[in-house]
Amino acid sequence: MHFSKLRLTGFKSFVDPTDLIINDGLTGVVGPNGCGKSNLLEALRWVMGENRPTAMRGGGMEDVIFAGAKSRPARNFAEVALSIDNSERLAPAAFNDSDTLDVIRRITRDVGSAYQVNGKDVRARDVQMLFADASTGAHSPALVRQGQISELINAKPKARRRILEEAAGISGLYQRRHEAELK
């Protein structure tokens, strides 16, 4: 599975619809301080189901919605759409019936988040499991936050093990076991 496009609408500083095309190979994002580079990575994490406002550098989840600027009023919703090339059909079974997966998350003020995969309403959990089974997701070690390298160096062994499990693709199993134990 290959991420092919990220579209941000009303997400943080990206007030107008903005497409980031992700080609094969390395994609670099460069720009001056404060231009929105970290916001892009946060959008990617958010559409994969991140639910901790602190991971978005916010106090509440609605803080991801464009908050307004001198010349532009605030928005009422934010939306991030992630297109995934699934032509090799490596997606988890429940989603493996098309060449492209379009995952959309939208948050509306006072309403909350809603998710869709290929136009169908799904739960947050479905999206989180989709990415966990594909060995990626909001907590994937492939996404390295600013300042996270020093955190990793200082991590305790247990925390390091979680990173290895994530990389080995078994964190989806852990989530299912945890849910089974709660039932």
Is residue 37 marked as binding?
yes
Residues 109-168 that bind ligand ATP (CB under 6 A): 146
Alpha carbon distance, N-terminus to C-terminus of the chain:
32
Please tell me whether residue 13 binds ligand ATP under the rule CB under 6 A.
Answer: yes
Question: b/e for 85-100, b at 16 or more Cβ within 10 A?
Answer: bbeeeebeeebeeeee
Please tell me whether residue 33 binds ligand ATP under the rule CB under 6 A.
Answer: yes
Query: Which part of the chain contacts ligand ATP (CB under 6 A), choosing from 43-51, 59-67, 87-95, 125-133?
Result: 59-67
Is residue 51 marked as binding?
no
Residue 13's binding partner out of ligand ATP, Mg ion, none, with CB under 5 to 8 Å set by partner kind = ligand ATP
Q: What's the 3-state SS for 30-41?
A: CCCCCCCHHHHH
Is residue 86 marked as binding?
no
Chosen residue from 2, 19, 27, 35 binding ligand ATP by CB under 6 A:
35
Q: Vertex 46, ends 37 and 71: CA angle to 5°?
A: 55
Query: Which part of the chain contacts ligand ATP (CB under 6 A), choosing from 64-72, 96-104, 110-118, 170-178?
Result: 64-72
Cβ-in-10-Å burial (0-12, 13-18, 19+) of 171 comes to: buried
Q: How many amino acids of this chain bind ligand ATP (CB under 6 A)? A: 15
Chosen residue from 28, 31, 59, 157 binding ligand ATP by CB under 6 A:
31
Residues in the chain: 183
Q: What is the distance between the alpha carbons of residues 60 and 43, in angstroms, rounded to a whole number?
A: 15
User: Which residues sit in the known binding site?
Assistant: 32-39
